[in-house]
Structure 1
Amino acid sequence: MNDDIILAIDQGTTSTRAMSFGQDGVPRHSIRREFVQHYPQAGWVEHDPEDIWRDTLATLTETAAADGGRVAAIGITNQRETLVVWDRATGEPVYKAIVWQDRRGAALCARLKAEGCEPLVRARTGLLLDPYFTATKLKWILDEVSGVRARAERGELAAGTIDSFLLWRLTGGKVHATDASNASRTMLFDIHRGVWDEELMRLFMVPANLLPEVRDNAAEFGETNVLGRPTLIGGMAGDQQAAAIGQACFARGDVKSTYGTGCFLLLNTGDHAVASEHGLLTTIAYRLSGRTTYALEGSIFVAGAAIKWLRDGIGIITHAADTHDLATRLDDNHGVYMVPAFVGLGAPHWDPAARATISGLTFDATGAHLARAALESVAYQTKDLIAAMSADGARDLRQVRVDGGMAANDWFCQFLADMLDSEVARPANIETTAAGAAFLAGMTAGMWRGPDDIAATWRADRTFVPQMTADKRAALNAGWQDAVRRTLSV
């Protein structure tokens, strides 16, 4: 099978890409397209599912043509928690996709918390009651879009995260399924029993017939003919779980942190679902051959999105890479801190009403200070997540494997190592999310036998070691904590 390739669909928050991989696990070709973000109201974020489908088809077929190898299987990874509801007969969405960043469910979550529902949600799903997750989005569409609830109750509609929608379209409407990792992010799935939870479906008033079948991450999800012949779809995983697989985080205690639009840090906890007492989520890392591996996760809503705001929102930079040069011009941050709560704060604060702040500005502050503050904010938030994991019992987190676009920034990786006081390992392939999807599909197709084969492909590009003094680290962190206190809504 050495001439075979695996194609990975990496459907993200701001772009869709397809990437081909050989048996060595090294990317061969990649095509990427950005798509439009829709902000109909403050705190609302939507995507057009047809944009996503169009770009998925285009990047998939173009990458396959550019590579020229025989496609053994296709894997899918996706932005998690983003919801689509569509017509089973036509495949047409009934409303735009409601994105994971969307906060329209905040009032519902507040009401359910006041009614004492959060302990049930936490016990079954490992999640907090927060509009970040899919259930509140689904209830909103069922309640607010004309005629949808009646159509859903008649069995005319299907609902799912982006992976389910793409699978439906790729298979011509033959398969309505998802994987265990994406299901675990809906706030409707019992991560211990591995089933859609009847009590939670009643709580959010979700008809069971809307929801997809849940399968292992490496499984036969169906076939697609979009490449001109039947091709196996052999793997699916939410983007952060796919990144953990791409980073070969298969051992208990392994940690990865992905820096894309947001930042998501996963700690493998093995077959034990650790209940966090410090604002972290308990989630499914992956399910292979029917066996579930769990993780603790810290979710930061804004990481690379802050850099995008510097570029598109206020025009301080032209390219994301400019932040490296701007940050290195300065000896220190001069007391300037950015708390990028543009859509609220995630772990460990979970404050949906918080909004972004920049503090410590003086007349000598420049664009370089803002660029550095944006980079630093991601490292500080990561440090908060590591501290929460340590408080929940994680020990000896000596190395964090990083990936995603920001991991290409040497200045950021060094500052991250300094603030965490631990090694930061950057892999030779920082596109680990796509790699994880490819590995899962390749396991189903027989290209890789299992985790050991995947781990053998992992290579470090560079390991960053701490260089900062403890006193300086403590002073910087104190300034950050003060900035966060000024930002919190309560």
Structure 2
Amino acid sequence: MLAIDQGTTNTKAVLVAADGAVLATGSAPVALSTPQPGWAEQDADDIWQSVLHAISRCLATAAPVDIVGIALSTQRESVVGWNELGKAVGPVIGWQDVRTSAWCSTLPPSVDTLVRERTGLRVDAMFSAPKLHWLLEHAQADHVGTVDSWLIHRLTGCREHLTDAGNASRTLLYDVLDLDWSTSLLEAFDVPRSVLPEVRASNGGFGTTSGVPGLRDGIPIVAVLADSHAAMYGQGCTQAGMIKATYGTGSSVMTPVDSFVADGCTLAWLTDKPLYALEGNIVSSGAALAWTTELLGLPDVGALVELAATVPDAGGVVLVPAFAGLGAPHWDRNARAALTGMSSATTRAHVARACVDAVAHQICDITDTIASSGTTPRRLRADGGATVSDLLMQTQADLLGHPVEAADVAEISALGTAELAWTTLGETTAWATTRTTRLYEPTLAPEPRATRRTHWAEAVAAVRTP
């Protein structure tokens, strides 16, 4: 299975055998531009070229294999438009982009109520519908979709316009109960159904390859998942109480639930039946690490974490990385970043440590919310680039007061969608049960844990709008 994982900053291609073994990998970077404050854009053709480069690099290191199918996972919520010739019109508007925040605030409360009742989400500039509204006003697009839809279009020789139900559920336009585009929501956001892709089950088949360099024609696209959903599948989180956190540019915390709830819920995937999950989205996680790295003049995030490890704690310093406002559970786009608690004794190491703490605190904010909804967390399964840091993972366990299992594979989203694809083809899989992990047990006593959590909550409250 050729698994393609298209993320915010890079694209990975992974050859995965039926037993879950990774046979070869390749990757390619993807640029992100910020032409104005609050804007985040990518080039659709650059994303497609990154897919081709990743595939080429993967196949160049592999022994000859027969690729029986393609599995695709992609960044969510980002949108792209293209014309009848298959040419992208306008930029890819990234999930981090908040140019539509002011417009969102003009929508009547009834729209937010409808969104919550039919999608489980809320009106926010992170999701696709406001971006699609903006894109359709500023570009002549015959077709629009999320990144998965764009890549399916290109992989199939510009023949198909399709998406999976999980990606569709992140648009604010897809009714996750009726499992169809919602006429009422389309009208609320002024997005015509005619420009949207057909929605299929996550393993419903998405056409076959045509004209893709390095690949034969006719390879079926077997399964498609949003990247955070694919990570949850790859982590084996399929039952209530199992929580996974993906540490990327932002972070996603998800836990399956037995049925839909009208707040903070998402459709993780649709196979023979839908699987719903509670989810919280953090806007700035890896982005906070990158920002602090640049602020301190360090060469890379690894150097930041090394510096943070030279002090036992942040010395009272708290960083709230609300560079584009706050995501879950606060959802305050008007909040602004702050670095507080400094004194004459504060060093660069304390600031670095405060950044590591901030990544972990934000995860805790969401798991606390999940716990308050009646789902009792047992342990956290962690994945994503930042999980290579022992300091971050131990800090996470200490602030949670629960064990953290960090995946030992960097390609968990690719493996998740590959596992769904192999299962669809009839293979018996249970890869998560055999995968090695690193276990971090909490070592912080309850009282200092509570103190640190209180200081964080106070700092968050200070940066929020009244």
Number of the residue aligned with 2:268: 285
Does the alignment pair 1:441 with 2:437? no
User: Residues 76-475 of structure 1: matches in 2 within 5 Å?
Assistant: 76-88=72-84, 90-112=85-107, 114-145=108-139, 148=140, 157-225=142-210, 226=212, 227-270=215-258, 272-276=259-263, 281-289=264-272, 291-311=273-293, 313-395=294-376, 397-446=377-426, 448-449=427-428, 453-455=429-431, 458-475=434-451
Give the letter for the 1:261 counterpart: T
Q: Distance in 2 between matches of 1:322 and 1:28?
A: 31
Match of 1:3 in 2: none
Q: Could you say what secondary structure the match of 2:68 adopts?
A: strand
C-alpha distance 273-458 of structure 1, shift in aligned 2 (>3 A)? farther
Shift of 1:400: 0.7
User: TM-score scaled to structure 1, two decimals?
Assistant: 0.91
Spell out, residue by residue over 1:59-114, the C-alpha distance to the aligned partner (whole angstroms, 9 max, x if none).
113212322322121111111000001012x21111000000010111121111x4
Which AA in structure 2 matches 1:49? A
| Displacement after TM superposition at 1:192 (Å) | 0.5
TM-score (norm 2): 0.96
Q: Shift in Å at residue 303 of structure 1?
A: 0.7
Between the aligned partners of 1:307 and 1:380, the Cα distance in structure 2 is 13
Distance in 2 between residues matched to 1:229 and 1:210, nearest whole Å: 27
SS in 1 for 2:98: coil
- Equivalent in 436, 456, 463 of residue 480 of structure 1: 456
AA partner of residue 60 (structure 1): I
Query: Distance between the aligned counterparts of 1:245 and 1:476, measured in 2?
Result: 32
Match of 2:405, SS state, is strand
CA contact (8 A) 1:316 1:367 kept: no
SS of corresponding position for 1:224: coil
Instruction: Tell whether 2:50 aligns with 1:74.
Output: no
Q: Distance in 1 between matches of 2:434 and 2:353?
A: 31
Indicate whether 1:56 and 2:51 are aligned: yes
Shift, 1:457, TM fit: 5.0
Q: Say if 2:296 and 2:348, in contact at 8 Å, map to a contact too.
A: no
Cα displacement string for residues 391-420 of structure 1 (whole angstroms, at most 9, x for unaligned residues): 11112x111100001111111111101111
- 8 A contact 2:26–2:56 mirrored in 1: no
Pair 1:421–1:457, CA change in 2 (3 A): closer
CA contact (8 A) 1:273 1:294 kept: yes
Tell whether the 8 Å contact from 1:125 to 1:184 is kept in structure 2 after alignment: yes
Cα displacement (A) at 1:212: 0.8
Out of 5, 10, 20, the residue aligned to residue 10 of structure 1 is: 5
What is the CA deviation profile of residues 248-273 of structure 1, one whole-angstrom value per residue up to 9, with x for unaligned ones? 11223221100011110001103x01
Residues 244-298 of structure 1 deviation map (CA, whole Å, 9 limit, x = unaligned): 001011223221100011110001103x01233xxxx210111112x00100001
Q: Distance in 2 between matches of 1:33 and 1:474?
A: 42
Q: CA deviation at 1:358?
A: 0.8
CA 1:324–1:38: 2 relative to 1, 3 Å = closer
State the Cα distance separating 1:115 from its structure 2 match.
4.5
User: Matches of 1:264 and 1:298 in 2, distance apart?
Assistant: 6
Q: Which runs of 5+ in 1 are unaligned?
A: 1-5
Q: What is the letter of the counterpart of residue 58 of structure 1?
A: H
Return the offset for 1:390.
Answer: 1.2
Q: Identify the residue that residue 17 of structure 2 maps to in structure 1.
A: 22
1:295-352 deviation per Cα after TM superposition (whole angstroms, max 9, x unaligned): 00011011111112233x3253222222332222102210111111111100011011
Mean Cα displacement is larger for which, 479-488 or 188-197?
479-488
Residues 19-38 of structure 1: per-residue CA shift (max 9 Å, x gap): 12122213232222222211
Distance in 2 of aligned mates of 1:40 and 1:324: 29
Q: CA RMSD in A?
A: 1.5
State which drifts further: 460-469 or 65-74. Answer: 65-74
Q: Report % sequence identity.
A: 39
Code of the residue aligned with 2:400 in structure 1: it is L
